[in-house]
Amino acid sequence: MRIDVVTLFPEMFEGPMGESMMYKARDRGLLDLRVHQLRDYTTDKHRTADDIPYGGGGGMILKPDVVVRAVESVLEGAPPDTPVLLTTPQGRVFSHPIAIELAQHERVVILCGHYEGIDDRVRELVVTDEISIGDYVLTGGELPAMVIIDAVVRQIPGVLGAEGAVDKESHADGVLEGPHYTRPVVFGGLEVPAVLQAGNHAGIERWRHEQGLRKTWRNRPDLLLTAQLSESDKYLLAKFADEDAARHE
Ligand code: ADE
């Protein structure tokens, strides 16, 4: 998969995109990440990429001619359905299903928003999707772009290898993952749950699923509204509710 990023701060990508799984994905030829300096697409001698806003107000606005030139240039040779994402707090909120969908594409372009914003004609002319990584405002779209790249690239077959199974992880079926343990068997006065020590595979799977469901109930009850729940899951949720009620009596 090839991902092109257009940004005023290409150096920000060097550390995070050059380590660990992102390094491995690039080293194995599974990710071709190209980070482009937006200023390279300016035409004046000062390399001006932004300008003051029409109608007044603070902040600077990225210029439409520069941004559209950059995006059209990096899109050369890309399939016509290539997503062009704009990272912005005004976008739809990024999620696991969006990561899976993006990972199906051969090419993805990410345009990093910055300063007060970007001339809205860019959105109309070249952006296919506006993405936010959450309901808070960052100083720029670079960290969101890296978050999106990480979540997408780990979905590419061969990237995680033996390190992880993407179908069992949190959010894969709308329920969070349960807890994990390693040696020693007792730490800080707490023992690894007996079911994990016993090594009965079916028992372990059932326990893990129940723990994940319990964590979802505690930390992210909103996910249960859309999760795929079996009859036994519904029974367990009723049990958690009873336990909570008993605790508050
Ligand atoms: N730029 C600034 N804040 C952002 C956010 N929450 N998501 C995506 N892009 C952003």
Domains of the chain are 2-153 (3.40.1280.10), 170-247 (1.10.1270.20)
* Residue 116 vs residue 99, higher pLDDT: 99
Is the CB of 164 inside a 6 Å radius of any atom of ligand 1? no
CA of 146 to the centre of ligand 1 (A): 11
Is the CB of 117 inside a 6 Å radius of any atom of ligand 1? no
190-191 and 186-187 as β-strands: parallel, antiparallel, unpaired? Answer: antiparallel
Which amino acid type is present at position 240?
A: F
Q: pLDDT band for position 51 (50/70/90)? A: very high
pLDDT, residue 163, reads 56
pLDDT, residue 165, reads 64
Angle at 79 between CA 160 and CA 161, to 5 degrees: 5
CA distances (Å), origin 219, targets 64, 127, 227, 249: 42, 34, 14, 21
Q: Determine which residue's CA is closest to atom 6 belonging to ligand 1.
A: 89
Task: Dump pLDDT digits (tens) for 120-163.
Answer: 999 999 999 999 999 999 999 999 999 999 999 999 999 997 65
CA of 92 to the centre of ligand 1 (A): 10
- DSSP-assigned letter for residue 178: -
Whether 178 has a pLDDT exceeding 70, the answer reads: yes
pTM, whole model, 2 decimals?
0.94
Q: Which atom of ligand 1 approaches the CA of 133 most closely?
A: 7
